[in-house]
Amino acid sequence: MIVSTDPLEPAAVAEHRRTGHVGGHDVAYRERGSGPHGVVLVHGIGVSSRYFTPLARELAGAGRVLMPDLPGFGLSPRPQAPLSIAEHARVLGALVAASGLDRPVLVGHSMGTQVVTELAAQQPGLVDRLVLIGAVIEPAARSAARQAWRLVRDARHETFAANRLMVADWLRCGPRWYGATLPTMLEYPLVERLAEVQEPVVLVRGSRDPVTPAGFLHVLAGAARTATISEVPHEGHIAMYRSPGAVAALCRRVPC
């Protein structure tokens, strides 16, 4: 149930900040646009929904866009213990149900790709399709050290504004909470769970993304029932921040 709303920007921009108690947790989220159809954008580990703002602006003209902060991240209160990917998925499913959206497109980035995949596997028929941007984690790099090194390498492919936003969110999250959450992301069997998803999947990476190698997308595509692969030229791991138009077009496209 939605318990509050707070306009963030002028009416012409149509973004609002809302909070709801869903799945046993208080969840803060941002919303743009209107209507029964739309898109849900799910962020990665340590950050918040803020880096989806450029993409949400592109998508809001065609329906509603929800940008939740997962429990313990962004403006959402911190639970007693970090949630597993399956628990995050159940909370996200409760938010989708409470929102009244009819078979939305689920868009996940980084750890968010695991959450949306898990939700689609848990609740077949709930969503229209998945868009996985910068999916993680490649089985050959299933360690904290390797993931940290790849993120460091990625920073040079991101804009100053994107890096500043990410660092600010990581500082808000804090190393202790980040570290406590990391094992559930490292251990999540994305390839196996994606094979359980009935809906079409769009796999997206920036062409310069060291976190999500191109070969990993082909592994995921081989596991999915229906999948397409797209690269966003000249972008790193946060492909949707500097190239929101290109990523929005992929979110709207129906896979063959």
CB atoms within 10 A of CB 139: 10
Pairing of strands 38-42, 15-22: unpaired
In 3-state terms, what secondary structure has residue 217?
Answer: helix
Burial (CB count within 10 angstroms: exposed 0-12, middle 13-18, buried 19+), residue 170: middle
Beta bridge partners of residue 205, listed in sequence order = 231
Residues in the chain predicted with pLDDT less than 70, given as ranges, are: 1-13, 253-256
Q: 132 with 202: CB under 8 angstroms?
A: yes
pLDDT of residue 254: 59
Q: 203 with 221: CB under 8 angstroms?
A: yes
pLDDT of residue 196: 97
Instruction: Give me the number of domains the chain comprises.
Output: 1
pLDDT of residue 50: 96
CATH number at residue 13: 3.40.50.1820
pLDDT of residue 253: 65
Q: Which pLDDT tens digit goes with each residue over 151-161? A: 999 999 999 99
pLDDT of residue 61: 85
For the record, the structure tokens of 117 come out as 């995949």
Q: What is the rounded CA–CA span in Å between residue 150 and residue 233?
A: 19
Helices (H), 18-110: 53-59, 85-99
Q: Which pLDDT tens digit goes with each residue over 194-232? A: 999 999 999 999 999 999 999 999 999 999 999 999 999
pLDDT of residue 252: 85
Domain residue limits at 142:
2-252
